[in-house]
Amino acid sequence: MTSQKWTKQGARSRASRNKLLQKIMRDNSWVCTIIQRADGQMNELGYNRIRTYLTLRDSVSGKNGVGWDARQCWKTPEEDYDSVVGAIDDLLPPDDVDLFPNGKP
């Protein structure tokens, strides 16, 4: 397995190629807003990747969300949830804790 360096451009490309994610975003503007928040996140002073991920992840579940308790499924609850949460995870940049002493992930 080869390890590729994470880039925002690569994460955006993967999200745009994810057909299920794109369908969910078209049908739910609030999911689009959450994905945009993840996409716009920068590694700035005070940024904590885990805290940001958990906040965004928790905002996509529930009756009006995606996954097991959602009122509507596009594929299966697991696939819907994994698609959205996976994109959030991929789009968030590493924080200073994720970086090695040389400043590279």
The number of helices, as runs of H, and strands, as runs of E, in the chain is 5, 0
Mean pLDDT of 73-87: 79
- d(C-alpha 50, C-alpha 48), whole Å: 6
Using pLDDT thresholds of 50, 70 and 90, give the confidence band for residue 98.
low
Torsion 52-34-8-20 (CA) sign: positive
- d(C-alpha 51, C-alpha 28), whole Å: 24
Percent of the chain with pLDDT over 90: 50
| Each residue's pLDDT tens digit, 50-64 | 999 999 998 887 545
| Each residue's pLDDT tens digit, 16-49 | 999 999 998 998 888 899 999 999 999 998 899 9
